[in-house]
Each structure stands twice: as C-alpha cells, then as structure tokens.
C-alpha cells in the first residue's frame, strides 16, 4: 500500500480538487483507492456526496481500528472508497500533542487498511502542525499544488525549510503548478523560475485554472467524470500518468 498526501500549507491552491480528481483517476486505472479526508471542513467528502463521519472522533480515529474501518464509505465509483471528515477532526493536533509518539500515530492508524487498498490518498488541511508531521512521517510522497504566485511560492519555500529543519526526506515532495493562467506573465515567469530552482521536485504537468474545476462543488463529482473531455480533466489525467511513473 502506498500513501500519498495531497498537502499545502496554503489554502485555496486546488488541493482538495486535486485530491478528488486524482483519486477518481487512480481508481479508474484499476487501483483500489481510499481517499482519506483529514480536513475538518470535509470538502472532498462533499464532492463525493458523503455525509460527515459523525461517530469517528479525534480519539477513535487514532485508537479504535474498528470505528475507523466502519467509518469508511463506498463512493459512486468502482475501486474508490472515502473516509469522510467531520468537525471533530479540528482537534487532531491537540490529541496528537498529548501522545508520546504523535508523529507516528497516523501511520499506525492506517495499518488497518493496508490489506484492502493499493493507494491511500490523504487530503490534508492547510496547516503545518502535529498532524502535518504525522502525515510527512507516514506518506511515501507529499504532492504539493503550487499556484505560480508570490505567496504560494513563499509557502513552498517554508515547507522545504520545515523538511530541512526536521530532517525529513525532501525526496518525498512532488510539487506541481495549479490554477495556472497562461495569459498572465507573472504565472509564466514564476513557473520558469521555480522550474529552474526546483527541477528535482517539480512535475512537468500543470493544472490550468478552469470553471469546470470550480463547478465540482455544484455537480458534487470529480471534473474527470462530469467534464472528462475538457482540457482541465485531460491535464489531471496527464498529472496522474506522470505521478504513476514516480510511484
């Protein structure tokens, strides 16, 4: 089982949309996929028409394998299950801070699904926290969407600094440009500069800004399903194909 975290310490960069579309494409490729929604807002759960996992608290998520397994729901798509979030997940950091080995708690919690899935995709909240450390510890790869703008570039550098300071494996990080508007010179210039600076961690495929991706909340489905013939969906397919060569 491979664990891939879709993570950014900045909100609004297309993290959850990427998680939902990639999970759908991974499942279409024949992999048994579990999309684990770790964001208490539950946006990726919402995209797949699933209600919050009300009986799964921050405590039972990490300490009660039976409750965690029972909280997993099937989606409308073959090979794709979802572990929905709920607002109790906002207390993950408090709970993990009390554990002697909080950084390894998530890896331990996910052992119970190891035999059932090929890929676990983690949709992570946009913070650097105890939960983030646990995510970085257990994930085989950390997939990072980056808008080609100053603030998003800054948060990528902060993430790289965090990995350096905490002696984490930078080779886990795979970044890609998200919400790209090729008509903007700033976007093109930033993509070129960061591509030269971080050629080792940046994927070649980018995701364009698209109204079809914005409409995922209206359709409550991945754009790779309801708008699969569009350029945005094709870019996600290209991203998954490129990612598949890495994992």
pLDDT 10s digit of each residue in the chain, 247 long?
Answer: 999 999 999 999 999 999 999 999 999 999 999 999 999 999 999 999 998 877 888 888 988 889 999 999 999 999 999 999 988 888 888 888 887 777 788 988 899 898 999 999 999 999 888 899 999 999 999 999 999 999 999 999 999 999 999 999 999 999 999 999 999 999 999 999 999 999 999 999 999 999 999 999 999 999 999 999 999 999 999 999 999 998 8
The tally of domains found in the chain comes to: 1
d(CA 123, CA 45): 10
d(CA 145, CA 156): 9
Query: Which domain range does residue 213 map to?
Result: 2-246
d(CA 151, CA 10): 8
**Residue matched to tokens 């024949």:** 30
d(CA 76, CA 94): 34
Helix 231-246 vs helix 15-28: crossing angle, to nearest 10: 70
Which residues are paired to 82 by β-bridges? 35, 73
Q: What CATH number did the domain enclosing 139 receive?
A: 3.40.50.300
DSSP 76: S
């Amino acid at each position: 089982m491979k664990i891939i975290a879709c993570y950014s310490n900045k909100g609004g960069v297309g993290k959850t949309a990427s998680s939902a579309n990639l999970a759908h494409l991974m499942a279409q490729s024949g992999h048994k996929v579990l999309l684990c929604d770790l964001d208490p807002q539950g946006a990726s759960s919402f995209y797949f028409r699933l209600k919050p996992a009300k009986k799964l608290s921050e405590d039972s998520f990490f300490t009660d394998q039976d409750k965690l397994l029972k909280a997993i729901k099937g989606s409308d798509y073959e090979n794709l299950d979802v572990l929905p979030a709920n607002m109790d997940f906002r207390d993950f950091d408090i709970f993990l801070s009390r554990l002697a080995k909080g950084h390894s708690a998530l890896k331990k919690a996910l052992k119970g699904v190891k035999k059932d899935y090929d890929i676990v995709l983690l949709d992570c909240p946009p913070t650097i926290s105890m939960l983030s450390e646990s995510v970085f510890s257990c994930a085989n790869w950390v997939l990072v969407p980056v808008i080609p703008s100053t603030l998003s570039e800054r948060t990528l550098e902060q993430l790289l600094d965090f990995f350096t300071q905490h002696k984490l494996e930078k080779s886990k990080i795979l970044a890609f440009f998200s919400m790209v508007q090729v008509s903007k010179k700033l976007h093109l210039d930033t993509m070129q500069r960061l591509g030269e600076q971080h050629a080792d961690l940046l994927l070649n495929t980018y995701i364009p800004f698209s109204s079809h991706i914005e409409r995922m909340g209206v359709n409550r489905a991945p754009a790779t399903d309801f708008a699969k013939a569009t350029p945005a969906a094709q870019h996600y397919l290209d991203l998954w194909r490129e990612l598949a060569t890495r994992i």
